[in-house]
């Protein structure tokens, strides 16, 4: 013992001894406690009441576990049902959105197709209109050339072609007023047909003669009472001067059989001048020379008309 503890002091040795003795006491007390508890546990297990309590506790735990499992299954079922509802609602909204997008796309496609079709029709109509204008210009040019040849050469090769009647509304009843006077208040908007000869011995110059006494519009200088500023003598003198001025011009193309000037106040007849030549060639010469010419700051528009039956056409002063 002395050899083992020769290196330590007696105090340290006693301290170590007491420590080991306390450890052994604790171990012994723990073993005794474990033995007592084991014996008590054995006695409990041997007790029928304790066994019944344990069985009841185990049964309660099983019931609680089953209840928890059922609740978990119920929550899972509710979650799955809600998830299915959400999926169904999402699919419904997706289908509605897709249907709305398709409808909007169809509308856009329809609008685009209508726009493209309208543009195509407009382009086609424009092209047709240009072609018609070119055709009309070509026909007018050919007609003008034929009129010049007819007036200059005296050859009647184109006469039958030039004399063809042109109809504004073929197949409809002829406008009675146009047949009488060669003019109509409705113009090209008239529902009746206006038969017009290609060439004729009679030419019409609409609104050729002007005078404030015949005007119903507001005059720049005399206002609405322009007809009160001029008497019949002023109108006759003005017409005589106008007649002397134009007769020289128009007789240069041939003998003028008669000249009629309308003193009607209505716009489509007021101041219109009708001239009839002895020959058709003279009328064509007058048409070629005077059509488009300016007189008193106004461009003349010369037109051919069928021969007039003046006793039925003249309605007197108006």
What are the tens digits of pLDDT across the range 206-261?
989 988 777 765 555 555 555 556 677 888 888 899 999 999 999 999 999 989 99
Q: Which of 9-13, 88-92, 221-225, 274-278 has the lowest mean pLDDT?
A: 221-225
17-32 average pLDDT score: 90
Three-class SS state of 206: coil
The full set of domains in the chain, from first to last, is 164-220+232-313 (3.30.70.330)
66-72 average pLDDT score: 92
Higher pLDDT, 149 or 173: 173
Mean pLDDT score of the chain: 84
Contact between 278 and 255 under an 8 Å Cβ cutoff? The reply is: yes
**Per-residue pLDDT, 54:** 79
Which distant-in-sequence residues (6+ apart) come within 8 Å of 297 by Cβ?
A: none
**Closest Cα partner for 295 from 246, 251, 255?**
246
> How do strand 202-205 and strand 303-305 relate by DSSP bridges?
antiparallel
**Per-residue pLDDT, 318:** 39
Q: Which structure tokens are listed for 191?
A: 């529902």
Which distant-in-sequence residues (6+ apart) come within 8 Å of 263 by Cβ?
A: 214, 235, 270, 271, 317, 318
Give the best-scoring range by mean pLDDT among 151-165, 219-233, 270-284. Answer: 270-284
Q: Which of 6-15, 154-163, 253-262, 278-287 has the lowest mean pLDDT?
A: 154-163
**Per-residue pLDDT, 1:** 43
**Closest Cα partner for 173 from 196, 199, 195, 198?**
195
Main-chain dihedrals φ then ψ at residue 175, nearest 5 degrees: -70, 120
Helix axes 280-290, 232-251, angle to 10 degrees: 110
Q: Exposed (0-12), middle (13-18) or buried (19+): which is 277, by Cβ within 10 Å?
A: buried
Cα separation values, 318 from 28, 214, 262, Å:
153, 10, 10
Count how many residues are written for the chain: 318
Portion of the chain with pLDDT greater than 90, in percent: 36
Could you list the beta-strand ranges (E) of the chain.
Answer: 165-166, 196-197, 202-205, 256-261, 273-277, 294-295, 298-299, 303-305
Cα separation values, 95 from 82, 106, 109, Å:
19, 16, 20
| 45: pLDDT strictly greater than 70 | yes
Q: Exposed (0-12), middle (13-18) or buried (19+): which is 195, by Cβ within 10 Å?
A: middle
């Amino acid at each position: 013992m002395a050899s083992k503890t020769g290196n330590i002091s007696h105090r340290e040795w006693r301290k170590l001894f007491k420590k080991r003795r306390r450890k052994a006491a604790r171990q012994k007390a723990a073993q005794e406690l474990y033995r007592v508890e084991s014996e008590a546990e054995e006695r409990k297990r041997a007790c029928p009441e304790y066994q019944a309590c344990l069985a009841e506790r185990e049964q309660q735990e099983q019931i609680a576990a089953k209840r928890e499992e059922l609740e978990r299954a119920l929550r899972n079922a509710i979650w799955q049902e809600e998830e299915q509802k959400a999926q169904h609602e999402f699919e419904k909204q997706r289908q509605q959105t897709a249907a709305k997008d398709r409808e909007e796309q169809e509308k856009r496609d329809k609008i685009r197709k209508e726009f493209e079709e309208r543009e195509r029709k407009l382009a086609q109509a424009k092209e047709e209109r240009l072609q018609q204008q070119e055709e009309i210009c070509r026909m007018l040019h050919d007609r003008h050339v034929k009129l010049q040849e007819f007036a200059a050469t005296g050859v009647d090769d184109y006469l039958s072609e030039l004399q063809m009647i042109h109809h504004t509304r073929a197949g409809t009843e002829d406008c009675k007023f146009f047949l009488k006077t060669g003019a109509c208040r409705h113009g090209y908007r008239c529902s009746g047909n206006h038969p017009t000869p290609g060439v004729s011995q009679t030419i019409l110059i609409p609104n050729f003669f002007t005078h404030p006494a015949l005007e119903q519009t507001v005059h720049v200088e005399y206002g609405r009472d322009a007809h009160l500023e001029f008497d019949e003598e002023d109108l006759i003198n003005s017409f005589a001067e106008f007649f002397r001025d134009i007769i020289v011009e128009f007789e240069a193309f041939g003998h003028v059989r008669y000249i009629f000037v309308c003193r009607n106040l209505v716009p489509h007849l007021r101041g219109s001048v009708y001239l009839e030549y002895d020959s058709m060639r003279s009328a064509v010469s007058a048409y070629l020379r005077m059509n488009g010419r300016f007189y008193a700051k106004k461009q003349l528009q010369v037109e051919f008309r069928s021969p007039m039956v003046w006793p039925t056409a003249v309605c007197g002063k108006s």
